[in-house]
Amino acid sequence: MHYRTLGRTGVQVSTLALGAMNFGAIGRTTQDEATAIVGTALDAGINLIDTADAYSLGESEEMVGRAIAGRRDDVVLATKAHLPMGEGPNQRGSSRRWLVTELEASLRRLGVDHVDLYQIHRWDPTTSDEETLSALTDLRRAGKIRYFGSSTYPAHRIVEAQWAAREHHLGRFATEQPPYSILQRGIEAHVLPVTERYGLGVLVWSPLASGWLSGAVRAGREIATHRSGFMPERFDPAVAANRARMDAVEQLAKIADGAGLTLIQLALGFATAHPGVTSAIIGPRTAEHLTSQLAAADTALTADVLDAIDAVVAPGVDLAPHENHDTPPALLDPALRRR
């Protein structure tokens, strides 16, 4: 396992991080399975574990907490807030009121007295940067978080948050967590240049493109029911973007074979090859998934392999741009663009 500095924090984190979204109801991963996955990951040298309050409505945090019991000091522990955690209008978002309340709930679920990295899961257009950063700065001063970051922010919002921190003399986001894979390269055009400019650590999620690059999704092969049941539109062949992805996967599989790599190794090696990326977050549902992904820990792609990938999906291109989760709210809600 290799390690890189998390932005300008001085903290060393593994180039593969363990994501816990599949722990619990979402991935149907049991506590025993989760504990085994965490143990194997830590033994392999992974030291960053990423979860969120919204993953199975807190169940993931609870399972992570039990899994790291006795090994807390070995873990750089990250979680997130912002997504809805109930029906109430204030049980979500990035206000001081909610972040203070929800961090306490996350600490209880995790069974810890602090988290190392607290992330805002999505940009909240209803809350000012000053409000959010002020709350996070106070939580850090109280010793309940060590650092804080953003997740899936558009590039211009990353910049504005940095400016707000400077203008109001507040702590700044130290990290960003964007989606990134061979099939979704849009952050290369805008987000990564910005994070590099401001020295942010970058923890990329979905480096296997929700399973498209796992080797399990191939032309002429039936797609596993857990994938089609969770987000069936992501694998529906009637969707043009999915046909483009399938064509790309078949070409990438040939590149991987020619390089003596699995498709997983190719995908994870690609994600960590970019100089602006700190770690790639893997999200195994089973011990077998973890083993296949750990095989990429030492993968270093050669220039000719990277060039071949560029020929399949050009730099800065998203094959499914509608899945970026950073569309401006005014494009989604007519009330925000009409008088």
Nearest to 163, CA basis, from 131, 187, 198, 203: 198
The set of long-range contacts for 132-135, using a CB threshold of 8 Å and a minimum separation of 24, is: 132/94, 132/95, 132/96, 132/99, 133/161, 133/164, 133/165, 133/168, 133/170, 133/171, 133/172, 133/173, 134/96, 134/168, 134/170, 135/95, 135/96, 135/99, 135/100
Angle between helices 191-198 and 155-167 (to 10 degrees): 20
Q: What whole-number distance in Å separates Cα of residue 46 and Cα of residue 19?
A: 11
CB 119 within 8 A of CB 148: yes
Tokens, residue 335? 């009330």
Please spell the DSSP secondary structure of 53-77, one letter per residue: TTGGGGHHHHHHHHHTTT-GGG-EE
Question: Is 3 noted as a catalytic residue in this protein?
Answer: no
Active-site choice (55, 147, 153, 180): 55
What are the percentages of helix, strand and coil residues in the chain, rounded to 5? Answer: 45, 15, 40
Q: What whole-number distance in Å separates Cα of residue 33 and Cα of residue 254?
A: 33
Torsion-angle region of 280 (φ positive above 0: left; ψ -120 to 50: alpha; else: beta):
beta
* Angle, CA of 162, 163 and 168, to the nearest 5°: 105
Active site residues: 55
